[in-house]
Amino acid sequence: KSGFISIIGRPNVGKSTFLNRVIGQKIAIMSDKPQTTRNKVQGVLTLDASQMIFIDTPGIHKPKHKLGDFMLKVAKNTLREVDVIMFMVNATEPIGKGDEYIIEMLENNETPVFLVINKIDQVHPDELIKIIESYKDKYNFAEIIPISALQGNNVERLLETVQKYL
């Protein structure tokens, strides 16, 4: 099995940290300038039973000008073509405007969306439950998986779950 995955989410939620962990190479540059790249392969993860190709999706933010508008269209089309969208959020922060904007953008998209709640090493379990509930109200996520990209908690489970969708 093989498939395409796009990781989206506002800055600093841990997308690059996650990619660096699963790909095992510094392919995803830690602090990349936004809007400088078109869709591109960020890395390929080859497991025994499957291959996951991670695709960068720049342009997911409120467009400020015409080019931004175009980039948003490109991004939306990319998200329709991948097999799984990982929408990564920060467990230590409540839903913000940036998160809500991305959620709105996902409307009318039939690709399964995983809500990946990152940085669980920094929140109390009770707090995590509240965060999960607040996101559940916003979108019909295919899966909701809390992880710590930094420490590795639950990352294996996330990858195993993705394989089911490829």
Q: Identify the residue among 5, 10, 14, 16 touching Mg ion (CB under 5 A).
A: 16
Determine contact, residues 24/71, Cβ cutoff 8 Å.
no
Interaction pattern, residues 64-103, with ligand GDP; x per rule: CB under 6 A: ----------------------------------------
Nearer CB in complex with ligand GDP: 6/118: 118
Tokens of 43: 């890395």
As a whole number of angstroms, the longest Cα–Cα distance in the chain is 44
Radius of gyration of the chain (CA): 15
Q: Identify the residue among 1, 2, 11, 47 touching ligand GDP (CB under 6 A).
A: 11
Going by the annotation, the residues of the binding site for GTP are 9-16, 56-60, 118-121
- Beta-sheet pairing, 143-146 with 51-55: unpaired
**Of the candidates 70, 10, 4, which has an alpha carbon nearest to the alpha carbon of residue 34?**
10
Single-letter amino acid code for the residue at 74: V
**Minimum distance, C-beta of residue 87 to ligand GDP, in the bound complex (Å):** 12
Binding site for ligand GDP (CB under 6 A): 9, 11-17, 30, 118-119, 121-122, 148-150
